[in-house]
A = this chain, B = another copy of it.
Amino acid sequence: MRRVAVIGAGMTRFGERWEEGMRELAVEAGVRALESAGVRGSQIQALYVGNMSGGRFIGQEHIGALAADYLGLNPIPSTRIEAACASGGLAFRQAYLSIAGGEFDLVVAGGIEKMTDVLTGQATTTLGGAADQEWETFFGATFPSIYALMARRHMHEYGTTEEQLAMVAVKNHDNGLKNPYAQFRKKITVEDVLNSSPVATPLKLLDCSPITDGAAAVVLASEEMARKITDDPVWINASAQASDTLALHSRSSFTSIPATRLAAEKAYQKAGIKPKDVDVAEVHDCFTIAEIMAVEDLGFVPKGEGGKAYEEGMFELGSDISVNTSGGLKACGHPVGATGIKQVAEVFWQLRGEAGERQIPDAEIGLTHNVGGSGATVVVHVLSRYPDLRQR
């Protein structure tokens, strides 16, 4: 299969975007991505769009066609991908496969979600569609409650503390402060997190990612096309996806997400790297416990040592592995269909040295980790400055 590069990225400010509907957000992110790549819309050959629940949030399905229409990209193929909160990461993966396999040379992968324009409670109910409707959501389980089970068990098995969970949120808010696209640009303290309202004990309000409107888009190109367009491509060294049971109760452990381990192992193997080679990672911190499990399951620290790592300042901006430099889902915001694409955009900017105030030094290898539901879908990508990491 062929090498594929990312050559441009754009996103909207994430947040409560009362003045814009889904189509306006799609256009804002898409046009910025095209401008970033230095290509015209007429050069684009296909569009893949990640969106979780346009049908329930705003009564609109057929999001691929909508995005192509309003971006003026007709009549190229446009395809919506859905895998709950991993929708964006899977849209990126399908775009990658379509170029690597030889069907297209220049493709846009986007992600979008318009979540705030709903009645109280309806967003959480809609997000429940990512879990098992018959065996979890129907009986009242919400995502905070599902991740609270994981947090409680992680605390029981490994001694992880609520303070350690809080440190994840504090770090991500520190990073979000430096990101002009972030929903929350506000410093918080461990005390702020611990004193925030309980949502599903032990998770409190500031342990949870927010409800967000937003869109993000990236431009992918075949090696030949990328070299024609830019001197500064970011290469996709690996793309890997794994599935697991839809319901948490069907798993053998609550403290690990096996699909993360499987996808990561495959991605490291394809890219020819070890976890410690990663310089910058955008991981799926829908809740603070999710980031702690992610850094463990991705192999950045041994299982059970995630909590302690945050006390030691690991994963902060500029450390050996900078995690969630964008602010993560927690501070940058979590428009579910857009998150996986935003992760790629952030890593793209870090690897190009275009991350502004939050730029880390000498970023060479980046990773994105996007989770759907409580871990039924996971997709991991490795990106870098090198077309082949085995030859660096």
A residues whose Cβ falls under 8 Å from a Cβ of B = 1, 21, 23, 52-56, 58-66, 68-69, 73-84, 90, 94, 97-98, 100-103, 126, 128-134, 137-138, 241-247, 250, 258-259, 262, 372-373, 376-377
A75 to chain B, nearest CB (A): 4
* Cβ B103 vs Cβ A1 within 8 A: yes
* Cβ A75 vs Cβ B130 within 8 A: no
A362 to chain B, nearest CB (A): 32
Q: Knowing A62-B246, A65-B376, A82-B63 touch, does A75 contact B133 (C-beta < 8 A)?
A: no
Contacts of A250 in B (CB 8 A): 69
A80 to chain B, nearest CB (A): 5
Q: Knowing A59-B137, A65-B83, A82-B82 touch, does A97 contact B101 (C-beta < 8 A)?
A: yes
Contacts of A126 in B (CB 8 A): 55
Q: Which of B60, B68, B74, B138 contacts A133 (CB 8 A)?
A: B60
Tell me the complex Cα distance, A1–B77, Å: 18
* Cβ B75 vs Cβ A246 within 8 A: no
* Cβ B97 vs Cβ A100 within 8 A: no
Q: Knowing A75-B262, A134-B21, A243-B76 touch, does A69 contact B101 (C-beta < 8 A)?
A: no
10 CB < 8 A contacts A-B:
A59-B138, A60-B134, A62-B131, A62-B373, A65-B244, A66-B246, A69-B243, A73-B243, A78-B243, A94-B94
* Cβ A52 vs Cβ B59 within 8 A: no
A385 to chain B, nearest CB (A): 24
A287 to chain B, nearest CB (A): 18
Contacts of A59 in B (CB 8 A): 128-129, 133, 137-138
Tell me the complex Cα distance, A52–B61, Å: 7
Contacts of A62 in B (CB 8 A): 82-84, 129-131, 246, 372-373, 376-377
Q: Which of B76, B134, B377 contacts A78 (CB 8 A)?
A: B377
* Cβ B81 vs Cβ A80 within 8 A: yes
Q: Which of B53, B75, B77, B247 contacts A61 (CB 8 A)?
A: B53
Tell me the complex Cα distance, A54–B54, Å: 11
Contacts of A132 in B (CB 8 A): 60, 66
Tell me the complex Cα distance, A376–B63, Å: 10
- Which of A73, A243, A247 is packed against the most chain B CB atoms within 10 Å? A243
Q: Knowing A55-B53, A103-B97, A376-B62 touch, does A77 contact B242 (C-beta < 8 A)?
A: yes
Tell me the complex Cα distance, A75–B66, Å: 32
Contacts of A54 in B (CB 8 A): 129
* Cβ A372 vs Cβ B65 within 8 A: yes
